[in-house]
Amino acid sequence: MNMTLRATATTAPFDTGKLDRLMEEAGLDVLIATSRHNVQYLLGGYRFFFFDVMEAIGISRYLPVFVYQKGHPENSAYIGNGMERFENELGSIWTPVVKTGSWGTLDAIGLAVEHVSKLGGETKRVGIEAGFLPSDAKDLLAALDSIELREAHFTLERLRAVKSPAELELIREASERVVDSMMATFAACTPGMTKNDVVAQLRREEQQRDLVFEYCLIAAGRSHNRAPSGQQLEEGDVISIDSGGNYRGYIGDLSRMAVLGEPDSELRDLLGEVEEIQQAARRVIRPGVRGGDIIASGEAAVRSSPHRAVLDFTAHGIGLVSHEAPRLTATGPVPYPPYDANRPLETGMVISVETALLHPARGYIKLEDTLIVSADGWEAPGDGGRGWNYR
């Protein structure tokens, strides 16, 4: 096992006071984070490159572990894979304690337990991310009489709810690069290409812009099926692209439209309806407004539309995770309690607003935008290309 203990702690890259308050509210003494997105956040952006696209190794899997004791950031520890000693030598990891000897889940969580056992003060109530902790590692923790396990997902989500200026810049870059990739992809679309071809083109465009391609939902023609396939594009086809591109951990998730040929008046009117709903939701966004007001405004616009029966509107928080705080509604596609529906929006929160019109004859028509709550309202990175894109 490789272990480094530094005499003094480097400054934590997150608000330790806020985390301490959140842990106090949740009744937590110690936090053991094991999701890759939260570990990345707590480490100030560090993510081990070797396991970026897979996690299986040998007879187990990679399990990064971050340990934090309430009120004592100087006792923070990171437990990583044996190969992460190279990153540690480069100074990539800020924690005072770094252990880079794990090759599986049990030895990783064992090193975390070893560290916690040496901490002074209260360490009994331990917060974990149950959905991101392998069962064998959780069983090991649960068997210890000295600790009580509690869920910490909510605590960590609230810590990340308001983005820092550095995070916001990454979200801006992710959004702009995704839309630029879409515009380049639309320009390359021709009759005879398949939906698989379009997705492959978008993948190349995103990778050329230093994005990690995550997915592309694509609809074409009259079909509402958004899976990549061998369906061929035809002249006059409507094309919907909804893609997530990841820039240094932060997600750019937007949707734009194109048509192979010039859009007719009906298509312009249909996208105009979608735009009206988007703008209705966007207009209410500003600090101090209840999160649920975004949903209420968008839903009111849907009800006034002649196509309300085939419209689908929602809004949600976005950042390191595609649906995260602020939680605006309990009726969206991803189920969770609407914690922020009756709470004020804060400067630095990030919201995705999306409206889709599933027209039976003209196809799938959708816009999705990213909105950053700013001091005087909102800003919308990647806001180009929101009309019909065509040649």
CATH number, position 14: 3.40.350.10
Closest CA to 105 of 165, 170, 69, 61: 61
The tens-digit pLDDT sequence of the chain (391 residues) is 443 433 334 689 999 999 999 999 999 999 999 999 999 999 999 999 999 889 999 999 999 999 999 999 999 999 999 999 999 999 999 999 999 999 999 999 999 999 999 999 999 999 999 999 999 999 999 999 899 999 999 999 999 999 999 999 999 999 999 999 999 999 999 999 999 999 999 999 999 999 999 999 999 999 999 999 999 999 999 999 999 999 999 999 999 999 999 999 999 999 999 999 999 999 999 999 999 999 999 999 999 999 999 999 999 999 999 999 999 999 999 999 999 999 999 999 999 999 999 999 999 999 999 999 999 999 999 999 999 999 8
Which tokens is 302 given?
């849907």
User: Could you tell me if 294 and 315 are in contact, meaning their C-beta atoms sit under 8 angstroms apart?
Assistant: yes
In angstroms, how far is CA 355 from the centroid of its own chain?
19
pTM: 0.94
Domain span at residue 228?
A: 165-389
Same domain membership, residue 326 and residue 367? yes
- Sequential DSSP letters for 135-174: HHHHHHHHT-TT-EEEE-HHHHHHHHSSPPHHHHHHHHHH
Q: How far apart are alpha carbons 108 and 78 in whole angstroms?
A: 10
In total, how many domains does the chain have? 2
Q: How far apart are alpha carbons 294 and 297 in whole angstroms?
A: 5
CATH of the domain at 321: 3.90.230.10
Same domain membership, residue 231 and residue 131? no
Same domain membership, residue 250 and residue 156? no
| pLDDT tens, position by position, 22-58 | 999 999 999 999 999 999 999 999 999 999 889 999 9
| pLDDT tens, position by position, 202-240 | 999 999 999 999 999 999 999 999 999 999 999 999 999
Same domain membership, residue 105 and residue 20? yes
